[in-house]
Amino acid sequence: MNPPLTTWPTYDKGDVFLSPEDIAAAMEALRAQLFFRYDFRPHEETFTGLFERRLCEVFGARHALACASGTTAITLSLLALQLPAGSPIACPAFTFAATPSAILLAGHRPVLVECEENLHLDVRDLRRVLDEGAKAVVVVHMRGFASDMPEICRLAEEYGAFVVEDAVPALGARLDGRYLGTFGHFGAFSTQSDKSLNTGEGGFLLTDDPEAYARAVVYSGAYEGRMARHFPGQVPDVDDRAFPIFSFRMDEIRAALAGALLQRLPDRLVAHRRNYDYVAERLADLDGIALRQPVAPGAYLGEALVFRLPGAAPRECAAFAGAVMAEGVDARALGDRDDVNVRAFWNWRFLLGDDPDAARSLFPASARYVSEAIDIPLSANLTLADCDRLVAAVRKAAARRPAAETATAATTTTEKAVAAGRAASR
Ligand SMILES: Cc1ncc(COP(=O)(O)O)c(C=O)c1O
């Protein structure tokens, strides 16, 4: 096992947002010795059923299904839409490899869409993909920043395409007061360790469509009439023997933990927001870096700080991340050519082949913006002293950049507009 390179708090070094009540809830489920969600108890007395009901209350959704992971939540959403096998499904070029993987798992064909300078899905490029026949779009709120959901939903409707939100990185974030994951036909979430609810692994989906929900429930592994338990009233006319079952269920132990964590989600969201805003405010004036701009004020979670070094070559971005690391703060250059970061689409060999240059040439805008991006994790447990350390580390790395390379930064009209808008929108 590789030792951690810094002591910067991250989930894979044991940093958790856990209270004694959360541990007690998991222990209660363990002691009950009933780990399977579909046992003899009434649905509403199971931890999984309770978690789903609470999710509906919190998110204002009609239906929620707890499942095994974020990947399976996306897959179940797509399966439930009943699209013809092999349908082209759009997703952004900037996402974790799990998004196109889920599209493949559902039996479809991922079609990538460019991202724009703030690393959001480029809505203009989405039109191209819809013109070419995409039947659905899996929008990703990558690193907690909302995509432009009103515009994307309007465009998808124009083409009769479904919208599934991969809200995995943005659990609890809102856009114009509305939770991400509630704009599309389905919203998919993860409760893996790095997310706003941490049950080790796990996930859930939300939808307002009862029939599609019933199909998702069956696909997730509700056999022999168990799907009906999810409907206290009228059960949709969905034949549970007409679909294969994939055992993507959540178990009772995780659901108990998730239910307890959900009570404290507001505290965690406040901590993320406080840390992000504190850091972003103190870096907003720094020459040569372009902080990501949200699509609307406050439309981000704050669990990561992502900024670009406009005009910088990949090796310079890698050196910048290395300089931040040297100050004890985890940082990664997303486009580091010596890294195998699977948030860089050219590393998706399963989809785009073995030649990274060829893959990059297919999506030049995304290749550029991802290559210029620096990614720093922001734990909810950071103290303001940690945040100060981060700010100092980034400032020091920026000060060490070669003058010739910083001079090329922020030179295009768009970059200048981004720079000018930076202070105004925060
Ligand atoms: C954008 C995105 N989508 C999907 C996933 C997959 O979630 P899970 O690991 O729960 O399958 C991840 C995981 O981090 C992710 O970052």
pLDDT digits (tens, 9 = 90+) for 168-214: 999 999 999 999 999 999 999 999 999 999 999 999 999 999 999 99
Classify residue 239 by its DSSP letter: -
Decide: 168 in ligand 1 pocket, CB within 6 A: yes
**Per-residue confidence of the chain (426 residues) as pLDDT tens digits?**
454 578 999 999 999 999 999 999 999 999 999 999 999 999 999 999 999 999 999 999 999 999 999 999 999 999 999 999 999 999 999 999 999 999 999 999 999 999 999 999 999 999 999 999 999 999 999 999 999 999 999 999 999 999 999 999 999 999 999 999 999 999 999 999 999 999 999 999 999 999 999 999 999 999 999 999 999 999 999 999 999 999 999 999 999 999 999 999 999 999 999 999 999 999 999 999 999 999 999 999 999 999 999 999 999 999 999 999 999 999 999 999 999 999 999 999 999 999 999 999 999 999 999 999 999 999 999 999 999 999 999 999 999 988 755 545 444 433 433 333 333 332
Decide: 99 in ligand 1 pocket, CB within 6 A: yes
Query: 169 C-alpha to center of ligand 1: Å?
Result: 7
Report the pLDDT value the prediction gives residue 402, as an integer from 0 to 100: 80
Decide: 190 in ligand 1 pocket, CB within 6 A: yes
Decide: 203 in ligand 1 pocket, CB within 6 A: yes
Tell me the three-class secondary structure of 63-124, residue by residue.
EEEEECCHHHHHHHHHHHCCCCCCCEEEEECCCCCHHHHHHHHCCCEEEEECECCCCCECHH
Query: 413 C-alpha to center of ligand 1: Å?
Result: 34
Report the pLDDT value the prediction gives residue 405, as an integer from 0 to 100: 52
Query: Among the atoms of ligand 1, which is closest to the Cα of residue 102?
Result: 4
Residue of 192, 250, 301 best suited for mutating to test ligand 1, as the one with most atoms within 8 Å of CB = 192
* Structural domains of the chain ordered from first start: 11-263 (3.40.640.10), 265-425 (3.90.1150.10)
Which stretches within 111-226 are classed as H helix? 123-131, 149-159, 210-221
Report the pLDDT value the prediction gives residue 4, as an integer from 0 to 100: 55
Decide: 391 in ligand 1 pocket, CB within 6 A: no
Query: Among the atoms of ligand 1, which is closest to the Cα of residue 74?
Result: 4
Decide: 47 in ligand 1 pocket, CB within 6 A: no
pTM: 0.94
247: Cα separation from own chain's centroid? 23
Decide: 69 in ligand 1 pocket, CB within 6 A: yes
pLDDT digits (tens, 9 = 90+) for 212-249: 999 999 999 999 999 999 999 999 999 999 999 999 99
Report the pLDDT value the prediction gives residue 277, as an integer from 0 to 100: 98
Q: If residue 138 lies in a helix (H) or strand (E), which one and from where to where?
A: strand 136-140
For ligand 1, atom 15, the nearest C-alpha belongs to: 96
Decide: 181 in ligand 1 pocket, CB within 6 A: no
Decide: 377 in ligand 1 pocket, CB within 6 A: no
Query: Among the atoms of ligand 1, which is closest to the Cα of residue 95?
Result: 1
Gap between the Cα atoms of 264 and 273, Å rounded = 15
Gap between the Cα atoms of 365 and 2, Å rounded = 34
* H helix and E strand count, the chain: 16, 13
Report the pLDDT value the prediction gives residue 268, as an integer from 0 to 100: 98
Report the pLDDT value the prediction gives residue 6, as an integer from 0 to 100: 86
Residue of 11, 67, 69, 71 best suited for mutating to test ligand 1, as the one with most atoms within 8 Å of CB = 71
Gap between the Cα atoms of 386 and 328, Å rounded = 10
Decide: 100 in ligand 1 pocket, CB within 6 A: no
Tokens of 353: 């082949």
Query: 201 C-alpha to center of ligand 1: Å?
Result: 10
What order of strands is seen across the sheet that includes strand 88-92?
63-67, 203-207, 186-190, 162-166, 136-140, 88-92, 109-113
Q: How far, in Å, are 39, 87, 138, 340 from residue 108 at the CA level? A: 33, 5, 12, 25
